[in-house]
Structure 1
Amino acid sequence: MVAFAYGSVSPATAQDSADKDKVVAKVGGLPITGRDLEFAATELSEQFAKVPEEMRKAAVLNALIDIKSLARQADAAKLGEDDEFKARMAFLRDQALHNFFFQQRVLDTVSEEEVKARYDKEVAATEPEPEIRARHILLKTEEEAKAVIAELDQGADFAELAKEKSTGPSGKEGGDLGFFDKGRMVPEFEQAAFALEKGAYTKEPVKTQFGWHVIMKEDERLSQPPAFEQVKDQVRQVVLRESYAKLLEDARKEVEVEIVDEELKAQLEKAGVR
C-alpha cells in the first residue's frame, strides 16, 4: 500500500518510491512501472508460485505484457463500453476500496498490545476445568484384563505391564495418555478414570468400543490456559473480526439502505440480517 507522510522523507523511502515509479517496460507506448509490476506479482502470486524466484519478476512482467496487449485490443474494440464490463469494474472498484479501507483502519491498527489484552481478558473470564493424567492397559478380553488387575494387586508396575501387554498405541509409552479433560474420552472410560483417587487403578475391567481397559489415575490438576504465543494468531483473528464488524456497523449507520426487491428483503429478514 502507499504510505503518505508529511515532512522529511528518509533515503530508504525515497529510493522505494523511485523504484516503484521507474518504468520497466512499455506496451503500445504506455509505461509499465515498478508499482504495476509489484501489484501484478501480488495478484498473480499463485500462478507463479512454482517459478524460480530469480525468474519470477520476469515471468510476471511477461504476463503483464500479455494482459496489456490484449486489453489494448479490447479497448480498441470498445469492449470497455459494454454494460457487463462496466458493472464488473464498478464492483472491483468498490471491492478494492473496501479492502484498502479495511487494511488502513483495521489490519494496520491492531497492535500486539491489543491482542495481548484480549488474550488476558479471555483467560480471566475462563473457569479452569479439572484435568487428569491417566495410564491404561487395553486388552482384548475381560479375562485378560482381570489377570492384569491381579498382577497389579501383587505389586506389578503399571507402566511395565502396559508396555508388555497393552494392545493400544500408548502401550509403548507405558499406557500414558497425558492430561485430558472431560469430553475427550469415550463416556465409559471417562467416568471410570475421573472417579478414581490419585494413584489408584480400576479394580474391575472397563468395557468400551475399543476393548477392555485397566485404568490408573496418575495425577490431577486444573486446566491451564494455552500460552499467549501458542494462540496469538487465533486471538488476533478474533480482534480483527470484531474490529471489522464494528467498522461495518458504523459505516451502515451513515448510509441509508433500501432493499427494493421484496423477495430478497424477505430472505434477509428471515436470515436475521438488517
Structure 2
Amino acid sequence: MKKTLPLALLMLFGLSACNLGAEQPTAADTEGQTVLMRVDGTPITEEMLAFHLERRTGGQSAQLDEAQRDALMRELVDMVLLANAAEAQGLDQDPMLRARVTSVRQALLAQAAVENKQQDTAAVDEAAVQAAYEEMYSDSGALEYKARHILVEEQAEAQALIEELQQGADFAALAEEHSTGPSAAAGGDLGWFVAEQMVEPFAEALQTLEPGAFSQEPVQTQFGWHVIKLEETREQPRPALEDVEPQIRQQLAQQQVQDYLTELREQANIQYEDPALAPEQE
C-alpha cells in the first residue's frame, strides 16, 4: 500500500488526472450516492471516498487500518478545500485547465464505455471460442524435425566427415569433435523444429532425408558447410483448448470492443474545422 504523503508531495504525486474528471459535484452529480460529509457545502460521498482509497492504494484499500483510512479521508477533504479555493479564485475558468478537465472526463467516460462493453461480452459464445481455436491453430499438425548437424568451414572437411559416417562412425561423436556450431557440445543436437526455422539450403536438404539417414553431400549455407542427420519427425503438437481458452476469450472480447468502436466511428459525424487535420483515410 502507498504511504500517506505530506500535502506538498500530494500536490506533486497524489492528485492524478482522475481528480479532474468533473467540476465540483452538485446534487444531481451525487444523486443515488451516500453523502458522508460536506466541506463548505461540497458533498463527499461514500463512492468518492472508495474511489480515492482504491486509487491511492493501488487497489489494496481492504488492507488499510483505521488510521490509514482516516489519513486518506483527510487527503480527500484537503483536495476538496483546495479545489473550492481554486474555483473561488476563478482558476476553473482558465481555458487550458478547462480543456484538461474536459479531456479527463471524456477519458473516464470512454473507459466506462469499454468496461461496460467488456461486461456484455464476458460470456463469449462457446461456438465462437471453438471457431477461433480452429482458426488460430489450423497450422498445427505441420511436420517437426529432430536433427543433428556438423558445421565446418571447408567443403573438403565436410566431405571427409561424410566418408567417416559411411564407414560407421558415430555422428554425435564427430559433431562434438569437429563442429564449430553452438550445438557441438550436445553432439550436434538441434532438438525439435519446423523446417521454416532453418535457412533454406539446410531446410531443403533436411526434407529429402528419411529418419536415421544423413546427408550424402555437404550442404552449404552462409554459416559454412553442414552434414545433417535426421533422427525423427512428428506432427507439431496442438495445444489443448482448455490451455488456451482464456487467451482466446480475451482476444474475442477485445475484438468485439474494437468492432463496437468501429461501428461508432462509422455512424459519427466528424467535422474538421481545419481540413489539414483530417487523416487521409477519412
Q: TM-score, normalised by structure 2?
A: 0.67
Which of 222, 240, 256 is matched with 1:243 structurally?
256
- SS of the equivalent of 2:180 reads coil
1:118–1:239: 8 Å Cα contact kept in structure 2? no
- SS of the equivalent of 1:183 reads helix
Which of 101, 106, 130 is matched with 1:117 structurally?
130
Confirm or deny that 1:102 pairs with 2:84.
no
1:142–1:205: 8 Å Cα contact kept in structure 2? yes
Residues in 1 aligned to 2:172 and 2:43: alpha-carbon distance in whole angstroms:
74
Q: How far apart are residue 41 of structure 1 and its match?
A: 5.9
User: Which residue of structure 2 lines up, in the alignment, with residue 173 of structure 1?
Assistant: 186
2:140–2:237: 8 Å Cα contact kept in structure 1? no
Residues in 1 aligned to 2:223 and 2:177: alpha-carbon distance in whole angstroms:
18
Gaps of at least 5 residues in structure 1 are 1-19
Moved more, 34-43 or 81-90: 34-43
TM alignment of 1:214-233, pairs within 5 A = 214-228=227-241, 231-232=244-245
Q: 1:42 to 1:206 in 2, by over 3 A?
A: farther
Confirm or deny that 1:79 pairs with 2:94.
no
User: Which residue of structure 1 lines up, in the alignment, with residue 200 of structure 2?
Assistant: 187
Superimposed CA distance per residue, residues 94-136 of structure 1 (whole angstroms, 9 cap, x where no aligned partner): 2211111211212563337657424433157547433322211
User: Which residue of structure 2 lines up, in the alignment, with residue 135 of structure 1?
Assistant: 148
Residues in 1 aligned to 2:57 and 2:223: alpha-carbon distance in whole angstroms:
48
1:123–1:225: 8 Å Cα contact kept in structure 2? no
1:119–1:228: 8 Å Cα contact kept in structure 2? no
Residues in 1 aligned to 2:196 and 2:123: alpha-carbon distance in whole angstroms:
35
Q: How far apart are residue 215 of structure 1 and its match?
A: 0.7
Q: 1:45 to 1:162 in 2, by over 3 A?
A: farther
> Size of the alignment, in residue pairs?
244
Amino acid at match of 1:220: T
Amino acid at match of 1:207: Q
Amino acid at match of 1:150: E
Moved more, 70-79 or 30-39: 30-39
- SS of the equivalent of 2:214 reads coil
Q: 1:246 to 1:216 in 2, by over 3 A?
A: same
User: Which residue of structure 1 lines up, in the alignment, with residue 223 of structure 2?
Assistant: 210
User: Which residue of structure 1 lines up, in the alignment, with residue 100 of structure 2?
Assistant: 88
Please give the root-mean-square deviation of Cα atoms over the aligned residues, in Å: 3.9
Moved more, 170-179 or 224-233: 224-233
Residues in 2 aligned to 1:212 and 1:65: alpha-carbon distance in whole angstroms:
76
Q: How far apart are residue 234 of structure 1 and its match?
A: 4.5
Which of 145, 150, 158 is matched with 2:171 structurally?
158
- SS of the equivalent of 2:198 reads coil
Q: How far apart are residue 256 of structure 1 and its match?
A: 3.4
Superimposed CA distance per residue, residues 130-171 of structure 1 (whole angstroms, 9 cap, x where no aligned partner): 332221122233333223222211212223332333332222
Q: TM-score, normalised by structure 1?
A: 0.68
Q: 1:39 to 1:85 in 2, by over 3 A?
A: same
Superimposed CA distance per residue, residues 168-225 of structure 1 (whole angstroms, 9 cap, x where no aligned partner): 2222333222232243112222222122222211122222222221111122234333
2:219–2:226: 8 Å Cα contact kept in structure 1? yes
Amino acid at match of 2:164: E
